[in-house]
Structure formats: structure tokens, C-alpha cells
A and B are shown apart, each in its own frame.
Chain A
Amino acid sequence: MPGGEPQADLSQESIEALVGQALAAFAEAQTSAELKEARLAHTSDRSPLALANRAIGTIPGPERKEAGQRLGAARAQVNAALAAREDEIGAAELAGRLVAERVDVSLPVELGPQGAAHPITALMDLMGDVFVAMGWEIAEGPEAEGEWLSFDALNIGPDHPARGTSDSLYVAPLGSNVAMRPHTSPVQIRSMLDRELPIYVVCPGKVYRADEFDATHVPVFHQIEGLCVDKGISLAHLKGTLDHLAKSMFGEGIETRMRPHYFPFTEPSAEVDLKCFVCRGESVGNPDAPCRTCKSQGWIEWGGCGVVNPRVLAACGIDTEVYSGFAFGMGIERTLMFRNNAADMRDMVEGDVRFSRSLKGMAR
């Protein structure tokens, strides 16, 4: 028996007193730190209960067992009270922290600067996707293009006014026979020369005209053209395809009209018009309510189309007795003007970031 060890009082009364002191201390503690102090005072190795526990060995005989049981129960009671108080204080402190840590979620936040695809690019991709979804493919070709591909193969003869220098741009010297393509139609020719039949392609891209630069004309703009060459293709197929594209671009309610027209590369040819979605045709013959969008015509021209002229197929070596085709083309800028009310074409090429960002980079 080591000396100096205090003589423990293991009586019922004194143990209950120790337990009482511990529970009171725990209850008194209001913070984790105070509870820690109370814990050290009442449950650590130097706490009265721990010392009492150690003294059990000194108790002789039958009383030892009884004292041991008493002490064990007392310590369990103290530990349980401590755990309960720890949970209480922990929960209260967490609740306090969550309140204290509240932030203003309306503050401006960003991962980085705000980028945006150009609306023309986004729309061109979207229009291409409409066709890819139907099993068509996207064909491409050069912008500086041979005159044969740009004109002759399209049944645009050497004396046609579109070949004049007031209409088309040419690579110097004149006689190089290289033009800046005035439409993406040479890509159709390339497709017919290079691809296996049947052909279902769209040709999006940049085109060039010797045009004025104003609110409704830009000399460099974008088109998407489509070409289908297969057995038994007719104007009805063209109509179905254009209706589908119009609905994809402008919604189910859009009304289209095919109006006979002339193009050298198609026969029969037509222009495809959209019902004016501003006045819905109600400005026609109604000078009191003129419509600027359709100039009170009720319809707005969207693009050109037709059955591929057999002369064009023949120039590409396609058997016109077996195959027929249709082709169409429309301006991306024009489509954007209609879809998203872009008012001034100049904005599309001046590079102002506000224009590019205006649709947040989406075709919508």
C-alpha cells in the first residue's frame, strides 16, 4: 500500500456528493472550453472519483465489491451527464456558428471572365445540327474559289451579271479565274464531284459580295445551303425539308410560302418566304398600320431554292436520267435578324463584345 495516498471515503454519502459536484459543474459550463475544464476536474485521472476508484483496492473483503459497484455506477452517471452536456453545448455552438457565418448570396461571383460565341457561329452550328439530326452531313470548301466551281458549273454563264466586278470579288489579276465565292454553292459542286451518291449535305460558311455596307447589307456574310441528290427527288421533298427547317428555327406556328423565281442553278426555282411575324400579314393594303419588317408586304424573303438544274448535275458527271436533286440557301445573318430581332447588320461584323454577348453565346 503506497504511502501518502489519501484515505478515500467510499461511503455512499461521500460518493453521491462527488457525483453531485460533477453534475453541477457540467450544468454550469456554458461553452466547450468551460465544459472541458469541468471534465478535467471531475473525470480526469486526478479527479476525486478517479482517486476513489484507485482506493477500492484498499478496502477489505465483502465491502470492496459493494464499494466497487457503487463507484462504477457513480462514474457511469457522471460520464453520461458529460456526454449529454457535450451534445447540448455542441449543438448550441453549431447553431450559433451557422447564424454567424451567413453570407450575402447576391454578391457578384464569377469563375472567370464571361466568354461568348458569336451569335452567327452559334446559329450556324444550330442550323447544321438540324440537318445532322436528319442524317445529313456538313460539307465545307475554300472561300477563294475557282470560277468554274463558283459560276460555270452552276449554269451561270460567262455573260451573267452576277459575274461582273460590281457583283462579285475576284482575286487579281482578272483572268486568274479565282473568285471570292459569292455563295456556298461551290461546296455543293465539290460535294457532287467528291462524294458518293446519294448526297445529303448542308454547306454553311462565309461568302463575299461587292455589296454596300449598311444596316441591311454586309459584303462578307454567312450562308447555309443544302443539297440533296438522290433517286426520285422532287420539289415536294424540298418543300418538306424547308418546312422542317423553318419550324426548327421559328417554331411550329411559322407559315412559309414558296414563290416561283429564277436561279440559273435550279429549275424549277423558288424563293421561300416567311409570314411576317411582326404584322402577321395585317399591314398589307393597310396604310394606317404600316409594317417596317415586311415593308407591308406580309411576307419576308428568307432564301432561294429549287430543283437542281440537270445542267448542273451533268457538269458534275451525275446521270440526270437516274438522279434528281434539290438545293436551297439562306443567309445566317438574315435568319438571326428574324429570330432574334437583330436590327443592324453592321453590329454583326464590328466586333463589339456587347453584341457577341447579347445572346450569352447561345443560339436561342
Chain B
Amino acid sequence: MRAPLGWLRDYVELPQEMTGRELSEVLIRAGLEVENVDQAGSELSGPIVVGRILAFVNEPQSNGKTIRWVQVDVGPAHNQPHPDYPDGCRSVVCGAHNFAVGDLVVVSLPGAMLTGGFAISARKTYGHLSDGMICAEDELGIGNDHSGIIILPPTTDDGVELKPGDDPAGVLLMRDDVLDIDVSPDIGYCLSIRGLAREAAQNLGLAYTDVVTKATPAAKADGYPVRLDDPACPLFVAVRVTGFDPSAPTPRWMARRLVLSGMRSISLPVDITNYVMLETGQPLHAYDAASLSGTIVVRKAHAGETLVTLDGQTRRLDVDDLLITDDSGPIGLAGVMGGESTEMRSTSTDVLIEAASFESGSISRTLRRHNLPSEASKRFHRGVDPQAAYSAAHRAAELLVQLAGGQVLAEETIAGAAPSIPSQVFAAELPSQILGTEVSADRVVEILRASGCQVEVDAAQVRVTPPSWRLDLRDPYDYVEEVGRKLGFDTITAVVPSAPVGRGLTRAQRARRAINSAVVAAGFVEVLTFPFGSAEDLDRLGIPAEDRRRHLVRLANPLAETQPYLRTTILPGLFAAVARNTSRGNDDLALFETGSVFFAGSGDPAPIPSVEHRPSADELAAIERALPEQPRLLGAVLCGNWRRAGWQGQPIPAGWQQALALAEVAAAALGAELTRRPVEYAPWHPGRCAELVVAESVIGHAGELHPEVIKAFGLPERAAAVEFDLDALIELSPRGGDIAPVSAHPVAKEDVALVVPDSVAAADVEAALVAGAGELLESISLFDVFTGSQVPAGHRSLAFALRFRASDRTLTDAETAAARAAAVACAEQRHGAVLRSF
């Protein structure tokens, strides 16, 4: 809502010196979101004055145009000497023809600055030195008309005669502060000069005049026949004006206010309906009465009906659309947009003015269905004061008669009635309790009465009936807000509440943070990507048809049609991040992301239980069942160098080893034991992929990416990736645990090298050694993998360092030797390992 300060002044006695900025501070404190205060006309400067045309000569030009060489009286302060005029004048070239000698016009003289930084200077044009410019509306930024120059009336609205040299700013309403207010959905009454003036008056304690002077009377059917067939339209007022002059122009003050408010001037009858809507908040519609046929019926649309709206579009109507109809069929989308067949024409002399009440929900659905946000629908959607209808219709009718003649027919129609407004009873101390500051019962009553409520106090209870325009005041807490808003939230003293003792982070939250920290410390950079995906991505990953990652959840209204699904894997998003980084010259990458993926659920719709009470356990369970499964995954991708070439030596390329290591780091952060087993699984290289196993459950995969995948996503060669179920890892990781006593007895170190076939996994050999060595084995680590001379083809030598220790004694050489031999024997027996002598 754009509210010119000058218009507000019609209804609230603001101090003359108050600026729009000052008023905006007051309104902001009261909860109105003033987004901006436009200083209309502030870009105009320098000598812009009233001039009287003294004489002109038409001069045809070679380009086909005829210009006028004009002498104009701009007052003694600005006139230059001229041989023909003793009082002097200015001589200017003008392209417009809509003026005559004696007309008052607006002249900008050299040194003036017009809209858009247009500087006026004396300049040579069409063979003359033009000493200024006669202005059109658009050049002053007061309108969009450039069809001719502005012709001023002989007097101001107050009857003061205009003379050359006067400042035309007042008569043209050139300068005004305009408050641009984003009105929140609950306070529809502030989408009007009436409502905003009332807020200003109440918050400043100033006198206020209500433009709405007459309450809507009881139903009567004297005028045009109207029937209401749907409860979504409880009230319809129809007032008729006949015999007015269709050529009467919109007065400049009205056009200017419309423009300042962000609307265009169209024709007098339409401008009047818009003007009164802006002023009262009541949307009006003007029908060409001569085009109406039969009773106006307000009803829902029938299946298959269509309507050509004012914008020339043919609308296919929904059976939920509320319509205004007559014998010819639909003539308007109620509260949203009128129909073409009954619109006001340039020849219309007979108008039927509609001022109706429509239910907000119905209007909202229609405007969304037809994507037709309009000034009217915006107001009905937020709620319009039903008591304003009658007064608004009459104000429009009276303005029309005043400006274009004709008469208001005494026979008028009031169909239906303004809905009654329920009152509410609450404890007088409720505002104090909820605002957290002491507000006396007297103050509560005072504030609510100033807001237009009827208030009765009975003991500690107040009974409140809101005014007709306050559709937001329904529940006791609504009145608490009204009291708080008028007091100002800045008057409330802040108090930090004392929460009961808390339990800190949950185990899962601590675990996720521990993993994130460990992965970051290991050298990975966290990124965030959009959790959307496409089926094409899955194809490029080589994911088979039956794979769970194909159980996609589609969005009904995706942001991009190329990514219509929720992701089932984080990897494609990370691959895109890799591409973005490498294109920007970031080549050595170790990226990771943790986030939800989504697997299609049952497909049953979720119930929408009542909000009157807590849903039943069954209803809540049904909601849960309808949701996609949403585990949280950790995904990572590596490419380029893990360690760059540097002064300390050669680069270490990033690859499958670091991908596997990340899984180990994450598992180790939680003390979980991770087993890696070779597996073939998309999108990984079939020979370089491990499944990640914790507590006998596969939680994810890691390794080098498949060369085809690397090609399909344009990744660097040998790029590697890991992805696992973070929730599963946390769930499966150990809880608690005992701290074993630390033995102070000496360690005995033994190395063994075992030759095994290539097909035997190192981890299996290690497991065999562990099993064979028994409880004296403290630790084991693989320190060499060797192929070549002395090792048969198809075999490799694995060298392990074993550390033995007892908790209660120093081990003898014999004991250590026996344990070592037992370890080797087990590896021999399980895997055919052969001890290799160094």
C-alpha cells in the first residue's frame, strides 16, 4: 500500500511540519512495515513556474512536424525584456498543440532539473534560442501523459487565483511523501487511507475523521435486482448513477493521488472506484448498467462455464470460483476481476456500482487458481470491513455526480447483511501475563476502545466486541497483541527464562559433530549442494534398475524440470561441485557433504487431522508412514593430488586409498570397527571398491570411481568417492566400553612375512594371525606388501609387525616364539600362507 502523506492529512490532523519519515517511525513501532518513504517530486529543482501563454506562431518544419514559437509570461521575477511586451516574457519552442493564448501552463526555466536528471538550459533548436520548456505530466514525474502539455486551472482547489511566476507544486500535488507499506495479512484494514490514518491518529493521539460515515443499513431491494446464492457473499450493495457526462475528465488531484498510490488513471468512473477503494479499503466495481440483463446472481461457477475478464483473457471457470452473473451468464469473477461484457465504455452514462463482501478463503483460491492478483483481490483476501460497503458505494456515486453530473438513484439494493461480530471475554490481566509487563485493566480498556472496540469490564473480566474493520481481533491473544502493539514492544523489559537442567547434545548429535571434526581434520572440505537430482544422473552413475537408489521421490513443483527428484545419493551433487571447482582452477579436491537423501515411501497420502486437539496416535503414525525414508548420508569425492608436489618431495595423488581412509576416520571417531570387503557396486570401479561393514551391516561403499562414470561426469582421472549411511554408522557404533589395565611389562616384537596368493585379502591374513596368536598379541600392523623376485607369480608377500605382551609378567623368548608360530600356523592353515625368511 502506497499512502501519500497529503491524502492521510485529509483524515488525521497531522502537524504541518511532520514528514513522511517521522510518521513512518511511529507506524513501524506500531507494527506497520514501512518499507520506504518516497519523496515524490524531490528530484525536481530550480525554477519551475506557472506561465501564461501570451502568443505563439505555428512553424512547419522540414521533418514534417509543426512546432510552436511561444511567448510566455512567467512573472516579473523570471521574465526577460521583449520588444512586444512591456512586462517582458520568455520565448520557447514547444512541440505540443493543446494550448491556446491565455492558458496557464508549467514552464521549466534554464537551471531547472526535471525527472530523470533532465537539466533545462537555453538551447538552440528549430532556428530559435529556446529559453526554457513548457512541461508535460511525464516530464514532471506526476503522471504518464505525454500527449500534450499540462494546462493548469485558473484557480487552486481552494479558489486562489494562479498567476505567472507562481510555484505550481501545490496545485499539481507535485511534491509529497509517499509511505510504501508492506501490509501484513492480518491487518487488511491498513490497505486503505482510512485505516492508516486511524493508526496514525491513535498512535500519535491526534483527531481522526472517519471517511466511512454511514453503517450499512438493513436489506432492501428497491434498486437493481440482486440475489445471493452462496454464503461466500454475505453482502452486496448496488447503487446506480444515471445521466452523467461520459466525457468528464478525471480531475488532476484525483489522478495525481492515484499515480502516487501506484495506480494509473483510466477514465473518470473507473478512477473513482479505484480512488474510493484506496481511501476506504472497500473494492468497488462499476458495471455499465445498460449492458446488464436481468437479476444479478452471486453463485459458484457451473462446470464448463467461461468468462472473458477485463484483461481480454478467456477464463475457464472452476466450480469453486465465486461469480457475479446475470441472465447472460458470468459477468465477473467475484472480488477478483470484472468481465468484459459489462465493463464501462467511453459512452456509458449509466453505472451500477457494486460494493460487496466476499469470504476471504474463496477469493484466495480463485486468485491463485487464475493467477490474478489485483488490488481488489488483495483486499478481499485479507478481509474488508463489511460496514464500509454502503458508505463507499455512496462516496463513489457522489464523487461521480460532483465531477460528471447526473444523479444518484434513490432506489438502491442491499442484499444480505454484514456478518455479526462475536464478542470475546478474557481476564483483564491476560495482557500483563502474556506481554510480561504490568498493564492495568484501565489501560487495557483505554487502548482497546481507542482501537474502536466496545469494551465492558466485569470484575476481573473484560468483554470486547471488535470494530467491524478489525477482522483480525478474534481470540484473546489477538487483543493481547493489540495492547502490546499500542504500548510498543520497546516498553517491555527483557527477562531471560531459566530453562530446566538440560542433557546437552544427544549421542547422535555428538557423534555427527565428532565425525565432521575428524573428517575435516583429515583434510576434507565440507560443501553444501542442493538435494535434488535427476534420473539421468543415476543412468550416468550406472545404477541398475532394481537398485534402491532408483526409488525416487518426485516433487510436484520442482525448482527445475531438469532436477525433478529428491536425491537418493549425494555423489552427483558433489561431482557438480568438483566440476565447478576445477573450472575455477581448484584442482586438488577432497570434498564432503553430509545430508539427507530420500527414498520413496508407501505412496499413501498423509492424513491432515483436525487442529482442534492433539491428533490420535494412529493419525500421527499414518503421517510417519507417508513420509519418504530420509537417512542422513556422508558422501565424499577426491581428485587431483592429495598432497601437492612441494619442496619435501613428489605429489601423492588422491585416490581410492584416501576414500577408504575417510571411512576409517569416521568409524574411528566413534570407536566403531570397520571391515572393508571387495565388492562390485555402481558407481565404483569393480576392482577398486570396498563395501564398508560395521557390526555385520553394510553401511556404504568407497573406492575409485568407474572409468565410465568419471567420463560421464567429466571428472579428473582416478577420481575416488565414498558414501555411507551416517545414521547407521552411529547406530551400530559401540556404546560405553571398559578401560583395560595398562601393562607395564616389556613388549616383545616379532615380524613375519607371509607369501599368499593374490586372491587372499590382506585383512583376512591379518585376521588369521590375530586368531592364531592368541591373547598375548597386543597389536599387529601390515608394514610391507612385496611382489617380485623370490615371490612366485600370482602371489605377494605381506609383512606384519606383531607386538606381544602379557599383563602380569615379562614374556620369555619361548613364550613369544610359540605365540608367533601359532599365528603363522593359523595363516598357513586358513590361507596357505608360506613363511618367508628375510
Contact residues of A with B, CB < 8 Å? 107-108, 110, 112-118, 120-121, 125, 132, 134-138, 140, 142-149, 152-153, 155, 157-161, 164-165, 169-178, 180, 193, 198, 200, 206, 210, 213, 219-220, 228, 230, 232-237, 239-241, 243-244, 257-262, 267-271, 284-285, 295, 297, 307, 309-311, 314-317, 324, 348-354, 356-357, 361
Contact = CB atoms under 8 A, between A and B. Distances in A.
A121 B526 contact: yes
Leading 7 A-B pairs by shortest Cβ distance: A260-B31, A236-B436, A317-B614, A351-B577, A234-B436, A268-B481, A113-B523
B475 to A, nearest CB: 7
A140 B433 CA distance: 30
Contact of B495 (A171, A174, A240): A240
B558 interface: yes
Contact of A153 (B185, B472, B596, B611): B611
Interface string B729-764: 000000000000000000000000000000000000
Contacts of B499: 134-136, 198, 200, 228
Nearest to B590: A113
Contact of A233 (B497, B506, B576): B497
Given A107-B647, A113-B523, A149 B492 contact: no
Contacts of B497: 200, 228, 230, 233, 237, 240-241
A134 B502 CA distance: 8
B679 to A, nearest CB: 27
B528 A311 contact: no
Interface stretch (B100-108, B151-159, B513-521, B718-726): B513-521
Interface of B: 21, 28-31, 33, 35-36, 184-187, 360-361, 364-365, 368, 381, 433-437, 472, 475-478, 480-481, 484-485, 489-490, 492-506, 509, 513, 516-517, 519-531, 553-559, 566, 573-574, 576-577, 580-581, 584, 586, 588-591, 595-596, 598, 603, 605-609, 611-615, 620, 623, 626-628, 630, 642-643, 646-647
Contacts of A148: 606-609, 615, 623
A115 B518 CA distance: 10
Contacts of A243: 494, 496
B614 A193 contact: yes
B589 A259 contact: no
Contacts of B588: 113
Contacts of B437: 234-236
B630 A143 contact: yes
Given A200-B499, A230-B497, A317 B613 contact: yes
Contacts of A170: 555-557
- At the interface, is chain A mostly helix, strand, loop or mixed? mixed
Contacts of A125: 513
Nearest to B522: A115
Contact of B477 (A113, A121, A228, A268): A268
Contacts of A348: 528
A161 B364 contact: yes
Given A120-B528, A258-B490, A348-B528, A135 B500 contact: yes
Given A134-B502, A170-B557, 12 more contacts: A107-B647, A110-B643, A137-B504, A144-B627, A170-B556, A177-B608, A243-B496, A259-B29, A349-B529, A351-B529, A353-B525, A361-B520
Nearest to B586: A353
29 contacts: A112-B643, A114-B523, A115-B520, A118-B527, A121-B528, A134-B502, A135-B502, A157-B361, A158-B361, A165-B557, A171-B553, A171-B554, A176-B603, A176-B626, A177-B606, A177-B608, A177-B626, A178-B628, A193-B620, A230-B497, A233-B497, A237-B496, A240-B496, A259-B33, A260-B489, A267-B481, A316-B614, A352-B581, A353-B525
A240 B494 contact: yes
B477 A161 contact: no
A315 B613 contact: yes
A132 B606 contact: no
A361 B523 CA distance: 11
B493 A236 contact: yes
A240 B720 CA distance: 50
B469 to A, nearest CB: 16
A235 B646 contact: no
Contacts of A317: 613-614
Which of A198, A230, A259 has most chain B Cβ within 10 Å?
A259
Contacts of B435: 234-236, 268
A172 B647 contact: no
Contacts of B36: 295, 297
Contacts of B31: 259-262, 270
Contacts of A262: 31, 184-187, 472
B481 A113 contact: no
B238 to A, nearest CB: 27
A143 B596 contact: yes
A240 B437 CA distance: 13
A146 B642 contact: no
Contact of B21 (A220, A257, A284): A284
Contact of B595 (A117, A206, A228, A350): A206
A173 B477 contact: no
Given A170-B555, A260-B484, A164 B590 contact: no
